[in-house]
Amino acid sequence: MGPIVTLLSDFGTTDSYVAEMKAAILAFVRNAMLVDVTHEVPPQDVDRARLLLERYWQRFPPGTVHLVVVDPGVGTARRALAVECGHARLVGPDNGVLSPALSHREARAVELLPSARASATFHGRDILAPAAAALALGTPLAQLGRPVASPRLVTTPVPTPRPGGAMDGIVLTFDRFGNAVTNLTAGDDTGERTVEVASRVVPLRRTYADVAPGEPLALVGSSGLVEIAVRDGNAAHRLGLEQGMPVRLR
């Protein structure tokens, strides 16, 4: 029963890049269980990769290694990191993408030692994947490099409380269905609450079926965050939503 290694990248699925990374892992960990998260992060969209990682990294069994390769700075002086946090290990560039783990108090990070044999443009295959393999084999973090005191941290903006119990937040990202994920949280009481976005007032409901087809609604999504959706439709297009747009929960 091999160690689990998840892969997240912006390499797309039409080239051999992902397969080359997998081969680099399997060369060290012949029985690794490889799980693709997605390789369709928009090219160089570190923010999107960070928000995705936040959703899944703590859901996998203890010992899982998460390899994240969205790396616009490849070949520059940007550091490459290995991180340990609780029972999870992560590998990726030091560009903020690993913040969901690094922001935990107990997280420890090391800077991966550069390899003389690494290509200048494909550290995912030549540096990061071998480091993920080493962690999957149980190599202690300290053996992979020097401790890093202040890795790059990017955090999701925190909502702002407003008078009368309202909260101001923003649209963080969209999913495939056009649902807008915000940084707002809401408890189970969806009763009389509404969300204002793009000059509209949208009711907060428990599930899609609580409004008529084609109608907009807000709901607490599966990540625990408030999402803005259109039943059987695409909220991004229908409501003209954009990343960073302000939202207010009343």
Binding site for a second copy (CB under 8 A): 1-2, 4, 6, 11-20, 22-24, 26-27, 30-31, 33-38, 40-41, 43-44, 52, 55-56, 59-61, 72-76, 119-122, 125-126, 175-177, 206-209, 219-222, 232
**Minimum distance of a second copy from residue 37's CB (angstroms):** 4
Q: Say how far apart CA 236 and CA 11 lie, in whole Å.
A: 25
Sheet with 65-69, side-by-side order of all strands: 33-38, 4-9, 65-69, 88-93, 80-85, 108-112, 145-147
- Which of 18/82 has CB closer to a second copy? 18
Token pair 């993408």: residue: 97
Which residue's CB is nearer to a second copy, number 71 or number 84?
71
Give the shortest CB-99-to-a second copy separation in angstroms: 16
Whose Cβ is closer to a second copy: residue 168's or residue 223's? 223
Strands 33-38 and 4-9 turn out to be parallel
CB 147 → a second copy: shortest distance, Å? 26
Nearer to a second copy, 105 or 176 (CB): 176
Contacts of 240 (CB under 8 A, 6+ apart): 198
- Dihedral of the CA atoms 204, 244, 8, 129 (nearest 10)? -140
**235 Cβ contact partners less than 8 Å away, ≥ 6 residues apart:** 178, 179, 180, 216, 228, 229, 241
Q: Which of 23/137 has CB closer to a second copy?
A: 23
What is the nearest approach in angstroms of a second copy to the Cβ of residue 156?
15
Here the tokens at position 238 are: 């229908």
| In the complex, minimum distance from the CB of residue 141 to a second copy, in angstroms, rounded to a whole number | 22
